[in-house]
Amino acid sequence: MNNRYVGALLISPFIIIIYLGGYYLAGFTMVLALLGMHEFLNAVKKSGSKPFSFICYAAAVVYYALLILNRNSNHIDAFLIMLTLVLLCIPVINTKYNFIDAAISLLCVLYVAVFFSFIPLINLKPYGNILVWLVFITSWSCDTTAYYFGRFFGKTKLCPRVSPKKTIEGSLGGILGSTLITFAFGYMVEINYNIMPIANYAVIGILCGIISQFGDLVASSIKRYVDIKDYSKLIPGHGGILDRFDSIMYSSVVIFYYLTIVVKI
């Protein structure tokens, strides 16, 4: 069996966790975040950096504990400020570390643990058990349509120094696919529920069609800098957690703040 299909089977239980939502989703997302942080920390160490791994893991556990207790995002600002304060003290206590190591450690927690947390945070919103699917529908539809548009129509390189195989035609196809499929999902949802005006689904599809591709390219740029092909071999045919969820992490942030600020849910 093709390794990509084996990998897809290994990921499939996550669908059940999304359906269950609540504490199950928050706890499982924390596990994914910790695995993703492990991949990120191993990657950046190849560049000679010395991130504070133990503090990163501990901070992630504390962060998710606060999320589960508070059931909202109100703790994010204070948590990141206090974490920054602590991390910048480490090079003073132990001079074998420097502020770059502190900055990379902060980035690890923010980029992986916090970005991942927007999945359960969306789930905690009103109608969150429905809206959380937008994260995956936008990302997966964009990835799939971008792949096929790029395969059949791709001629112009999008960002060759970061990801040589991606094309502008594929990118535009991904945005189109994300928009149409997300709008279709919204149409079916709004037949039975009155969550938000249906045009919002098209806007979310467009935004995530763009930003999810940046999520993919950001992950690729980090890998290229540290000279690795995949973050790990955890998921056969897909690489590591960050290889598979890079676009999903970015989409979750956009969807959460769009629902919060624009739709006011």
Q: Predicted confidence band at 8 (pLDDT cuts at 50, 70, 90)?
A: low
Q: What does the buried/exposed string (b/e) look like for 40-54 if buried means 16 or more CB atoms within 10 Å of the residue's CB?
A: bbbbbeeeebbbbee
pLDDT band at 1 (very low <50, low <70, confident <90, very high): very low
198, 183 Cβ separation under 8 angstroms: yes
Place 20 in a pLDDT band, splitting at 50, 70 and 90. confident
Other Cβ atoms closer than 10 A to 209: 29
Closest by CA to 30, choosing from 113, 105, 115, 108, is 113
pLDDT at 219: 93
- In this predicted structure, which of 137-146, 223-232, 237-246, 252-261 has the lowest mean pLDDT? 237-246
- Global pTM value: 0.92
- Residue 161, φ and ψ in degrees, nearest 5: -75, -20
Residue 3 predicted with pLDDT over 60 = no
pLDDT of 84 > 60? The answer is yes
pLDDT value of residue 12: 67
Average pLDDT over residues 11-21: 79
Q: Quick check: 252 and 122 in contact, CB under 8 A?
A: yes
Confidence of residue 242 (pLDDT cuts 50, 70, 90): very high
Name the percent of the chain lying above pLDDT 70: 95
Nearby residues of 204 by Cβ (< 8 Å), 6 or more positions away: 134, 138, 182, 254, 255, 258
pLDDT at 5: 52
Confidence check: pLDDT of 6 > 60: no
Average of pLDDT values for 8-32?
82
- Higher-confidence residue of 8 and 70: namely 70
- Percentage of residues of the chain with pLDDT beyond 90: 77
Average pLDDT across the chain, whole number? 91
Quick one: which of 108, 178, 123 has its CA closest to 147? Answer: 178
Residue 240 and residue 40 in contact, taking contact as beta carbons nearer than 8 Å: no
Q: What is the pLDDT of residues 174-213, one digit of tens each?
A: 999 999 999 999 999 999 999 999 999 999 999 999 999 9
pLDDT in tens, 112-138: 999 999 999 999 999 999 999 999 999
Residue extents of the structural domains in the chain: 3-262
E strand intervals along the chain: 157-159, 163-167
What per-residue confidence (pLDDT) applies to 2?
47
pLDDT tens for 129-174 read 999 999 999 999 999 999 999 989 988 998 888 888 899 999 999 9
Find, among 202, 203, 210, 204, the residue nearest to 184 by Cα.
202
The average pLDDT across 216-232 equals 92
